[in-house]
Amino acid sequence: MRKLRLGVMISGSGTNLQALIDACAAADYPATIEVVISNRPNVRGLERAEQAGLKAVTIDHKAFDDKESFEDALHECLSDHKVELVCLAGFMRLLTAGFVNRWRDRMINIHPSLLPSYKGLHTHARALEDGVRFAGCTIHYVRPEMDNGPIVMQAAIPIASDETEESLIAKTLTYEHKMYPAAVRLIAEGKARVSGNKVAFKDVDLVMPGLISPLP
């Protein structure tokens, strides 16, 4: 079975990276992680990659004179490892339109809200402050505009009456860890592809009695 070659970009602890590592360990999973790149040195995510026997690279944005040279280094590393799909997993740097367009329809991101609501930071606190009844998380293809692009998968997460920011973060992460490997599988198996400004699905159940759509 031919497997999709992934490059995972992180900035911190790498819990979604770990979810992908665990998924890729299964013989029937249709993707492999070729390289893990962090823009910050000595983060837990790099340890996770090394412990899994993966190539772990630090490309520190602070070591470059400008954003373009930093992104050139990212692009070169991903290209050197023949990456076919870039997975942003807690990568906390805004990417320029030039970089995003080089990887157009070949780069996905996970964001802790039901996009297009609550783009940017502090999504859980803002949702609680607004009193909405559902929070969520979204996996989407990346576009130059922040937290924008064709949506692959979403989870709607009920907010409890006694919810705190910390409990909502923890609850959301459990969904993220299920969704990221599932979304990559859909893409790797050719069941999800970009069509215009949306994602088109093939042989996927989009109607289900749960909170994740499409079905993981």
Instruction: Give the catalytic positions in this structure.
Output: 111
In the chain, the amino acid numbered 161 is: S
Two tokens, residue 155? 């989870």
- With left for phi above 0 and alpha for psi between -120 and 50, is residue 118 left, alpha or beta? left
Q: By three-state DSSP, how is residue 107 classified?
A: strand
CA distances (Å), origin 208, targets 2, 155, 182, 202: 30, 12, 15, 16
Tokens of 68: 């373009």
Measured CA to CA, the distance from residue 162 to residue 201 in angstroms comes to 37
Query: Alpha-carbon distance 116 to 26, whole Å?
Result: 33
99 exposure class (CB count in 10 Å sphere: 0-12, 13-18, 19+)? buried
Task: Please state the three-class secondary structure of 35-70 as a single string.
Answer: EEEECCCCCHHHHHHHHCCCCEEECCHHHCCCHHHH
